[in-house]
């Protein structure tokens, strides 16, 4: 009798548990069905076909349940390309601990998310969410990850967020947030490891007590409008590895105390208003791999101690006022260097030949300095090199060869994408042994303008089939334009100005269907302008001035409605200006002066409403 009573009680208990479970499942199911009902775009029909009433909720795509209570604990809908707002009913999923909605949701973040007291992970990254961040998120006392990056959120960052002591990651990058950050924002964030608030509109001074975030590994407040100095307290971040204040309005000098950040791997304070020298204490940053101090007003010489940070892989110090010479034993100093930006400074002396032994170098920018002497002949050793910029220096080449022979060495660098050698003191011809074909699959920019290069344009240059910019103007090149240049179908800019090039303009240039800028001015070109040039719909800037061109302007020129600059001055062009000139509605610069035109100025010239400069 007692055994039967016990069995009855057990069955009753199981029944009650099942009833309870069905009710809690009904709550979760109802919230999710409201969610799917609001979805207007499910391109792969992932949820429409799977989330159906009457089926087991815990088997739905993107949904996970607990084994004990059979309640929804995780919802992961990342990258399903859904579209609609987040329903407030999501706040009814009271057992939810993981929520990732990385889709294309719009609307606002519902206040009801603050009811998800068990939530540890919240990611609404890469949506089109707008409005303010709800203060109610501060109720999520167990939250460890908060990612609201890449949305259109605005307003202040709620102070309540800085009171969630369990937070390890805060990512608010790429929004439109404004206002100040409180000085004591780190006081209640003892677990915080990653803090990202870049690409917003935050103002005021940097919080002075960031050092209270003692577990911080990465901090980015870049691309905001912070002012004032870098707080010295930042030296007390014992674990920091990545630190970025790029593109703000910070002033003052680089704090020597930053040299105490011995764990630092990446430092980026570029594009501010900092001045003074690079502190000698920076030599203590022994773990540093990347340093970005470009676009400031930093001056003085780089001390030898800085060059002892042998683990550096990227040095970006461009656009400052740094001076002095480069170390002769460059390869020994930086065996792991990948990228070197030193352009737009005041460096002098020669390029050390040892730089060719930095075997991992991919990007070399020494442009806009006062470097002199011959370019090293062994640059071809840089087999990984992709970009070399030596423009605007006083560099020379070995005069005994009468060729730019260092280019022959560079031709063995088969990964080169950009060669910029303009505005130096190079003399001689392009080497006959130069293997342009070695760059045919990689090179997209080749600039040697502003030198004293002589001889003819090499026909072999046409093998650069992927080139988008060929700039060899302001030299002393002679001969005619090779018709083979027309094979360079991807060319967008062709500048041959101010040379001694003669002959006619080859019609093959009209094969360059994406040509944006063509500058053949200040040469000795003659005969007619090819009418097919007017058919290049991509052409926006055309300079044929200061040549010996004759005959009429081809009628096709007046149908290129996208052209913005047209300079045909100082030639022997004749005939009258047609009425069709008024159709060039995008034209802002027109110079037809010093020719032999006759007749009246067409009344349609008055239709050129964008015209800024006119010379007839």
Give the confidence band of 9 by pLDDT, cuts at 50, 70, 90. Answer: very low
The confidence score (pLDDT) of residue 110 equals: 95
The confidence score (pLDDT) of residue 4 equals: 44
The confidence score (pLDDT) of residue 114 equals: 95
DSSP letter for each residue of 226-295: EEEPPPGGGGG-TT--EEE--SSEE-SB--GGGGG-TT-SEEE--SS--EEPPPGGGGG-TT--EEE--S
Residues 282-298 have pLDDT tens digits of 999 999 999 999 999 99
pLDDT above 80: residue 79: no
The confidence score (pLDDT) of residue 3 equals: 44
Which whole number is the average pLDDT over 252-266? 95
Q: Give the C-alpha separation, 146 to 172, whole Å.
A: 8
Give the confidence band of 474 by pLDDT, cuts at 50, 70, 90. Answer: very high
Residues 143-189 have pLDDT tens digits of 999 999 999 999 999 999 999 999 999 999 999 999 999 999 999 99
CB-count exposure of residue 180 (10 Å: 0-12, 13-18, 19+): middle
CA-based nearest residue to 341, from 292, 401, 307, 403: 292
Q: Quick check: helix, strand or coil at residue 335?
A: coil
The confidence score (pLDDT) of residue 346 equals: 98
Cα torsion angle, 414, 415, 418, 423, sign: negative
Q: Per this entry, what is the length of the chain?
A: 616
Judged by average pLDDT, the poorest of 23-37, 342-356, 366-380, 434-448 is 23-37
- Looking at mean pLDDT, say which of 19-33, 322-336, 453-467, 576-590 comes out highest: 453-467
Residues 520-560 have pLDDT tens digits of 999 999 999 999 999 999 999 999 999 999 999 999 998 88
Place of tokens 């892989």: 313
Distances from the Cα of 611 to the Cα of 554, 564, 584, 586, 602, angstroms:
21, 9, 10, 8, 15
The confidence score (pLDDT) of residue 178 equals: 97
Kindly calculate the radius of gyration of the chain based on its CA atoms and give it in whole angstroms. 33
pLDDT above 80: residue 129: yes
Residues 418-428 have pLDDT tens digits of 999 999 999 99
- Please tell me the pTM assigned to this model: 0.89
The confidence score (pLDDT) of residue 397 equals: 94
Q: Give the C-alpha separation, 162 to 167, whole Å.
A: 9
Task: Return mean pLDDT, the chain.
Answer: 92
Residues 566-605 have pLDDT tens digits of 999 999 999 998 888 888 889 999 999 999 999 888 888 8
Judged by average pLDDT, the poorest of 196-205, 287-296, 395-404, 502-511 is 395-404
Which whole number is the average pLDDT over 199-228? 96
Bridge partners (DSSP) of residue 550 are: 572
pLDDT above 50: residue 324: yes
- Considering the chain, what percentage of its residues have pLDDT values greater than 90? 77
The confidence score (pLDDT) of residue 6 equals: 41
Give the confidence band of 15 by pLDDT, cuts at 50, 70, 90. Answer: very low
DSSP letter for each residue of 344-365: SSEEEEPPPGGGGG-TT--EEE
Bridge partners (DSSP) of residue 242 are: 218, 266
pLDDT above 50: residue 10: no
The confidence score (pLDDT) of residue 412 equals: 93
Cα torsion angle, 235, 237, 239, 240, sign: negative
Q: Count other C-beta atoms under 10 Å from residue 4's C-beta.
A: 8
DSSP 8-state symbol, 215? T
The confidence score (pLDDT) of residue 470 equals: 98
Residues 16-72 have pLDDT tens digits of 334 344 444 688 988 888 888 888 788 778 788 888 888 889 999 999 999 888 899
Bridge partners (DSSP) of residue 545 are: none
Give the confidence band of 131 by pLDDT, cuts at 50, 70, 90. Answer: very high
The confidence score (pLDDT) of residue 116 equals: 96
- Spatial CB neighbours of 213, under 8 Å, sequence gap ≥ 6: 186, 189, 190, 192, 195, 219, 237
Give the confidence band of 452 by pLDDT, cuts at 50, 70, 90. Answer: very high
Which whole number is the average pLDDT over 369-389? 96
Bridge partners (DSSP) of residue 420 are: 389, 447
């Amino acid at each position: 009798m007692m055994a039967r009573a016990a069995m009855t009680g057990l069955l009753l208990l199981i029944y009650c548990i099942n009833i309870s479970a069905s009710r809690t499942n009904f709550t979760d199911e109802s919230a999710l069905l409201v969610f799917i009902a609001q979805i207007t775009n499910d391109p792969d029909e992932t949820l429409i076909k799977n989330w159906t009433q009457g089926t087991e909720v815990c088997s739905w795509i993107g949904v996970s349940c607990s084994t004990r209570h059979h309640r929804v604990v995780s919802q992961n809908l990342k990258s399903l390309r859904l579209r609609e707002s987040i329903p407030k009913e999501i706040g009814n999923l009271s057992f939810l601990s993981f929520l990732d909605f990385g889709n294309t949701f719009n609307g606002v973040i519902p206040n009801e998310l603050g009811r998800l007291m068990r939530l540890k992970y919240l990611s609404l990254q890469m949506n089109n969410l707008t409005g303010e961040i709800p203060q109610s998120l501060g109720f999520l006392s167990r939250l460890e990850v908060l990612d609201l990056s890449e949305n259109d959120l605005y307003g202040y960052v709620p102070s309540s967020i800085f009171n969630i002591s369990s937070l390890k990651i805060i990512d608010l990058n790429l929004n439109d947030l404004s206002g100040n950050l409180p000085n004591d924002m780190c006081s209640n964030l003892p677990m915080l490891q990653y803090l990202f608030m870049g690409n917003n509109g935050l103002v005021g001074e940097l919080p002075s007590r960031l050092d209270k975030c003692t577990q911080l590994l990465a901090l980015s407040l870049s691309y905001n409008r912070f002012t004032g100095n870098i707080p010295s307290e930042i030296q007390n971040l014992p674990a920091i590895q990545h630190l970025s204040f790029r593109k703000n309005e910070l002033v003052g000098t680089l704090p020597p105390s930053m040299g105490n950040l011995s764990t630092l791997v990446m430092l980026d304070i570029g594009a501010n208003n900092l001045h003074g020298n690079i502190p000698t204490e920076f030599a203590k940053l022994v773990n540093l791999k990347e340093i970005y101090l470009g676009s400031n007003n930093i001056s003085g010489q780089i001390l030898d101690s800085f060059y002892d940070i042998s683990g550096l892989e990227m040095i970006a110090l461009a656009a400052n006022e740094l001076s002095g010479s480069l170390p002769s034993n460059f390869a020994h100093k930086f065996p792991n260097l990948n990228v070197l930006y030193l352009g737009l400074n005041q460096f002098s002396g020669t390029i050390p030949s040892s730089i060719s032994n930095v075997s991992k170098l991919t990007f070399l920018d020494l442009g806009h300095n006062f470097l002199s002497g011959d370019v090293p002949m062994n640059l071809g050793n840089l087999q990984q090199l992709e970009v070399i910029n030596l423009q605007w220096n006083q560099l020379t080449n070995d005069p005994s060869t009468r060729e730019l022979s260092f280019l022959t060495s560079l031709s063995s660098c088969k990964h080169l994408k950009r060669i910029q050698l303009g505005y130096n003191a190079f003399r001689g011809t392009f080497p006959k042994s130069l293997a342009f074909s070695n760059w045919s699959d990689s090179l997209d920019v080749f600039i040697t303008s502003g030198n004293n290069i002589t001889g003819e344009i090499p026909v072999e240059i046409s093998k650069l089939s992927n080139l988008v910019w060929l700039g060899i103007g302001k030299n002393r090149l002679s001969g005619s334009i090779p018709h083979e240049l027309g094979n360079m179908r991807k060319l967008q800019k062709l500048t041959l100005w101010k040379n001694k090039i003669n002959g006619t303009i080859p019609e093959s240039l009209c094969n360059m269907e994406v040509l944006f800028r063509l500058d053949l001015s200040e040469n000795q070109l003659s005969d007619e302008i090819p009418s097919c040039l007017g058919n290049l719909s991509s052409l926006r800037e055309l300079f044929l001035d200061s040549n010996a061109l004759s005959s009429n302007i081809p009628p096709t020129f007046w149908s290129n409605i996208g052209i913005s600059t047209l300079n045909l001055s100082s030639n022997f062009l004749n005939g009258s200006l047609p009425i069709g000139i008024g159709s060039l509605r995008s034209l802002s610069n027109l110079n037809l002066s010093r020719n032999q035109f006759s007749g009246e100025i067409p009344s349609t010239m008055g239709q050129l409403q964008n015209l800024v400069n006119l010379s007839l």
